Amino acid sequence: MALSAVVFDLDYTLAVVRRDRATLLAEAAATADVPVDFSREEYGAAHQRAHAHETRAPIFADLLGGNDDGEALAEAYRTAIADDLEPIDDAETLIADLRERYKVGLLTNGPVLAQRDKLATLGWEGLFDAAVITGELEAGKPDRGAFEAILDALDVAPERAVYVGDSIEADVVGASEAGLFVVQVCYPGGPDPDPRADVHVDRAALTERLPAIVRELD
């Protein structure tokens, strides 16, 4: 059965921050005048526990012991990331080229305001045929329901779609278990290539190589 859709992850796949997240979090804490004594690993665990819908405020409130500084820190962190965010080379050209033959969607984990703000910062609000932010859902990736949401939005069966992302658990495992083909995006310091992905591609070569990869899977 021929492919009819390509679905992308956002963070570390199509867009990256120039500096590490720990630095951005420290800057946001200074801006918001909120003492921060938790690690990025603790933040990641809290992110999974909270499944924040609108903003990161519940995540930070959890990490800060439930005090009222969560909203201020969430806003400062969102601004810091937006100011540091940049697309991979020729991302818009890649998506435009793919849309000549396939439906192209976006499925990204995160709170609605944070992820929509990234799309606005990048000027990508109308770039995709459909975009689903998991803050709009009951659960995020790797939950099957997240993948079903974007497939429903594109009106595509899972076996006719390929998912492109970097995270092993959220992207590779989630998409493969939902029945999609998977292209794992690899980069220095990122996850090792996982055998459950159908194809592995370096992020630096994604724009050049992905159209041919999709045609080969088609």
DSSP track, 49-115: HH--SS-SHHHHHHHTTT-TTHHHHHHHHHHHHHHHEEEPTTHHHHHHHHHTTSEEEEEE-S-HHHH
Tell me: domain 5-16+86-217, CATH 3.40.1030.10, correct?
A: no
Task: Please give the pLDDT value at position 69.
Answer: 82
Task: Please give the pLDDT value at position 67.
Answer: 63
Task: Please give the pLDDT value at position 126.
Answer: 92
Question: Could you report the per-residue pLDDT of 120-155, keeping only the tens digit for each?
Answer: 999 999 999 999 999 999 889 999 999 999 999 999
pLDDT over 80 at 40, yes or no:
no
pLDDT over 90 at 74, yes or no:
no
214 φ/ψ angles, rounded to the nearest 5 degrees: -65, -40
pLDDT over 70 at 28, yes or no:
yes
- The alpha carbon of 45 is separated from its chain's Cα centroid by a whole number of angstroms, namely 17
Contact 206, 8 (CB under 8 A): no
Contact 128, 30 (CB under 8 A): no
Task: Please give the pLDDT value at position 51.
Answer: 64
Question: Could you report the per-residue pLDDT of 76-111, keeping only the tens digit for each?
Answer: 988 898 889 999 999 999 999 999 999 999 999 988
Confidence of residue 9 (pLDDT cuts 50, 70, 90): very high
Task: Please give the pLDDT value at position 50.
Answer: 64
Q: Pinpoint the residues of the chain covered by CATH 3.40.50.1000.
A: 5-16+86-217
H/E element, 94: helix 91-99
The 8-class DSSP code of residue 45 comes to H
The 8-class DSSP code of residue 36 comes to -
Nearest Cα residue to 62 out of 73, 74, 70:
70
61 token code pair:
């409130």
149 token code pair:
């949401």
Q: What is the Cα–Cα distance from 171 to 147, expressed in whole angstroms?
A: 10
